[in-house]
Amino acid sequence: MSCKAGQRHHPLRIRQPRLSETLPGIGRPPLVFNVSLPLPDLEEWRAPPSEVPGVWIFDSGRSGPEIVITAMVHGNEYAGGWALENLRKRGPVLSSGRLTLIVANLEAFDSFDIRNPVMARHVDEDLNRLWHSTRLNGRDHSSELERARQIQPYIARADLLLDLHSTLWPSEPLFIAPPRQRSAEFAYALAAGRDLPQTVLTDLGHYGGSRLIEHAHFMSPGGTGRSCLLEAGSHWEPATVTVMENAIERLLAQAGTIHLRGQASQEPCDPEMAPEMAVVTDNIIARHADFRFIRPWEGGVTIPKAGTPLAHDGHDLIYTPYDECLLIMPNLRPRQGQLAVRLARRTAAPLRS
C-alpha cells in the first residue's frame, strides 16, 4: 500500500468546460440480468409456530445469546430465503441461547417477476431505510413500515444480528458493520472464518434512512447488541447462497464466544487469511441524470493512484481522491440523487477494543 494511501491529494470533483472526448464513459448499461437461481419455496414461513409470518424461532432451552438472522429485507434478494429455508429444514443445532430467523419482506417477494426482477425490491418503500425511531414510532404508514414495526421486538432483543443481502451489480462479497466498536468486532470475527469475505467495511450510514443494522439497539453507546450486514454476491446466483450458509455456520459455531468476548475462539493463523478493515470516506451521489462511469467498475476493485477518473456527472469528472482507493458496490445505473458508489480506504489494523 502506498505510504500516502488514504491521504487526500486529489480533488474528488473537477468541473470540465466540456466533456473529454477521450473519456466517453460506458453510458447506461441495459437492465438485463441472468437469473440462475430459482425461487425458493417459502410456504412454511407464511404461518409458522411463532404466529408471525416469516419468523421461525429455535430455543435451546439453555442460557445463551439471542441470535437473529434476517434475510430478504428486499423482496428480490431471495438467495437469503434459500439460506434460511435450508437451515430451517435441517434444523439448527444450538448449544445455548435462542435463534430467530426472519424472512422480512414476503409481500415484496410475492410480486417477483423474472421478466423484471428488480421491481420486487419493495412494495411501498425500502424496508432497509426505516429503522430510526422517528420512523418506527411516527404516524406514517406503508407496507414496509408496518412490517418493520411487526418484527422490531425480535430485533430489539438480539445480542447478535446478521442481516443477509446480495447485490444487483457485480461486486466482491463483504461484511458491513455500523460505526460501533462492538459491531466491527462481530463482523471481523465472522470474516475470519473459512470461505468467507475478508473485507469488513464501516461506512457513513445511508443517506436515505437508517438501515436495520443501525437500529438504536445496536447504535446505543452503552448497549451490548452487535450487528452486521453481509453482501454475499449477486442476487440470483447459487454461489451467493453458499456464502450466506458459510456465514451462518460460522455465526452459530462462534456465537457464544463472540457474545462474551467480542471475538471468535478460532482466529486465522495465516496473516494472509486475516480479515481486512476498510472505512468509507465518501458517498458519491449522482447529481445529474446523465451520470455514467468511465468503465463498468466492479465492487471491491482497488484503484492504485489518486486522480484516476471514475465517472462523469454532468460537467463534473469524478476522480479517486487518494491512492489505493477501494470501490464499494458501484451502481452502474444511478438515478439523479441516488448513491452511485462509495469510496473507502483500508485501515492499518482491525478495530479492536
Q: 282-314: per-residue pLDDT in tens? A: 999 999 999 999 999 999 999 999 999 999 999
Bridge partners of 293? 311
Q: In the structure grid, which three cell numbers stand for residue 203, read together?
A: 461506512
Q: Which of 319, 177, 159, 306 is nearest to 225 (CA)?
A: 159
Q: Give the side-chain half-sphere CA count within 13 A for 318.
A: 24
**Burial bucket for residue 79 (CB in 10 Å: 0-12, 13-18, 19+):** buried
Q: What is the pLDDT of residues 26-73, one digit of tens each?
A: 666 666 788 999 999 999 999 999 999 999 999 999 999 999 999 999
Check if the beta carbon of residue 321 is closer than 8 Å to that of residue 282: yes
Q: Residue 58 and residue 203: Cα distance in Å, rounded?
A: 32
Q: How far is CA 57 from CA 52, 68, 98, 184, in A?
A: 10, 9, 7, 26
pTM for the predicted model, two decimal places? 0.91
- DSSP tag of 216: H
Query: For the CA atoms of 185, 320, 283, 219, what is the dihedral angle to 10 degrees?
Result: 20
- What is the secondary structure of 67-78 as a DSSP string? EEEEE-SSTT-T
Lowest-confidence segment of 72-86, 168-182, 213-227, 336-350 by average pLDDT: 336-350
Size of the chain in residues: 353
- Distant-in-sequence, close-in-space partners of 261: CB < 8 Å, separation ≥ 6: none
Q: In the structure grid, which three cell numbers stand for residue 17, read together?
A: 468546460
pLDDT above 60: residue 4: no
- What is the secondary structure of 137-161 as a DSSP string? TSS---HHHHHHHHHHHHHHT-SEE
Q: Which of 160, 55, 58, 66 is nearest to 105 (CA)?
A: 55
Q: Residue 246 and residue 242: Cα distance in Å, rounded?
A: 6
Q: Residue 79 and residue 38: Cα distance in Å, rounded?
A: 9
Q: What is the pLDDT of residues 102-159, one digit of tens each?
A: 999 999 999 999 999 999 999 999 999 999 999 999 999 999 999 999 999 999 999 9
